[in-house]
Amino acid sequence: MSEDVARPARPGAVVRPRRAGSGAFMTAMVIDTLGAGVWVTFSLLYFTDGRGMELSTAGAALSTGSLTALVLSGLAVGTFTDRFGPYPAATLSCAIRALVFPAYLWADTPVAVAMIAFGVSLGDRLYWAAHGGLVAGVARDEQARRGMFALLNSLRTLGFGLGALAVAVGAALEHRVGPVFWTMIPLLNAVGFALSGYLFWRLGARSVRVREPGVVRGGRGYRGVFADGRFLAFTGATLALTLASVAFDSILPIYLRWLGMPLWLPPVAYVLSCVAIPAFQPVALWWGRRRDPMRLMAQAAALLAVALGGFLLLGGCGPSAAVPVMAVLILLFSLGEALFGAVAMVIVLGFAGGADSGRYGACYQLVWGVSAAIGPGLHTLLFAVSGAAPWVVLSIALSGAALVYEHLARTAEPVVEDRPARVDVASR
């Protein structure tokens, strides 16, 4: 595959790869990102409404499978990606999910659901370990990478929205078409991941190993990752942002019901966020023009802190006043999410320096897995103490994260390379 020939992008533009096969690359990334997003919002409803399983049983089985995959493969996928390259890792991730999703049609016990969820989560972990290396291989400078990560973040958010829409459509059509609708979602996901895997395989087979002698440092493995105190501080601070994202999805609807808000407000709030985050991506890129990405993370954390802290104001609002207040807070939250999504992985690649991008990416992605695992339980526990407790605690944690990012920005900032990370595609 020929090297990138992209010209410098105008600030704020969403940059797409300008290399042979770029259309195939974008198609593969779009399918993978949308498919994963759809399943996150659709999975529980599939087993409860589509398969007739108890909600608690389905949730426990899915969580058990996902947590097991996180524990057993959360770091191993980074080693695999650095050893064989991001394209083989992405191909394998899609192949696993293409094979596993149809098995959901025959899963009628919690053990079977947990085993299949393990496979899906393993595929997800592999994809996210390869994610940074894939983007770094086609976007040659920092601004281009911001644009690409912003685009992919928008697509994943769109996938969440499509999943929620699919749930609504499935519930509305169930009495007309029976179980056919519920059956189609896993099958369509399997077909989509098979196509995505084929495209990644073709791209990997055509690509070449890109090296710049003397500029990409040798990999040090996880020993180097865990010795990188600045990266660990960044990752630890980011846990506050990922927990805030989980809180928005899990505890906010319960909080609104507890306040006695109309039943239609939680889904409307969720849809508004799914629309606002992609809409704000160009704004986030414009805002971040020529700004240090670590300071953008601090600004994102501050926006999220203000938005979540603002939810406390809803307790003193009637239903008519709560709607505009809620809309403003969701827009602030969405802008923070847009900033976060555009620059977080750029910073991770800067820490990695190329050779260990898979390991750094896998370690960073653990915060998402941990948040998804402990977030709902933690937020529910805080909510049991007080309806205001989740928002107070998260606002404090986000403010602390903003201070950490500011400190990292002031002291020996990590250098974000304006060249692609090594793209190792196994020819062995």
Average pLDDT over residues 222-227: 90
Structure-token match 């829409």, residue found: 165
Q: Got the DSSP string for 375-413?
A: HHHHHHHHHHH-TTHHHHHHHHHHHHHHHHHHHHHHSSP
CA 77, CA 361: separation in Å to the nearest integer? 9
pLDDT in tens, 264-279: 787 788 888 888 988 8
The CA distance from 397 to 203, in Å, is 42
In the predicted structure, residue 170 carries a pLDDT above the cut 50: yes
Q: 245: how many CB neighbours lie within 10 A of its CB?
A: 20
Are the C-beta atoms of 229 and 235 separated by less than 8 Å? Answer: no
pLDDT at 139 over 90: no
Q: Give strand pairing partners of 423.
A: 210
Which DSSP symbol is given to 260?
T
The predicted-structure confidence for 27-86, as pLDDT tens digits, reads as follows 888 888 778 777 776 777 777 767 778 877 888 888 888 889 999 998 999 999 999 999
d(CA 277, CA 272): 9
Asked whether 243 and 300 are in contact (CB, 8 A), the reply is no
What is the pLDDT at residue 122?
A: 93
DSSP one-letter code for 291: S
Looking at residue 167, its pLDDT comes to 67
For tokens 């079977």, the residue is 112
Q: Which residues contact 32 (CB under 8 A, 6 or more apart)?
A: 90, 93, 94, 127, 192, 193, 196
Give whichever of 8-12, 102-106, 238-242 has the largest mean pLDDT: 238-242
Window from 82-86, 136-140, 326-330 with minimum mean pLDDT: 136-140
SS3 423: strand
In this prediction the pTM is 0.79
10-16 average pLDDT score: 43
**Cβ–Cβ under 8 Å, residues 414 and 229:** no
Q: In Å, what is the CA distance from 128 to each residue of 73, 230, 367, 386, 394?
A: 12, 21, 12, 35, 25
pLDDT of 369 reads: 86
Which stretches of 178-251 are DSSP H helices? 180-206, 221-227, 229-250
In the chain, pLDDT over 70 holds for what percent of residues? 84
Decide if pLDDT at 97 tops 70: yes
Q: What is the rounded distance in angstroms from the CA atom of residue 390 to the CA atom of residue 378?
A: 9
With 0-12 CB in 10 A as exposed, 13-18 as middle and 19+ as buried, what is 18?
Answer: middle
* Helices of type H across 251-354: 252-258, 265-287, 293-310, 319-352
Residue 231, strand partner residues: none
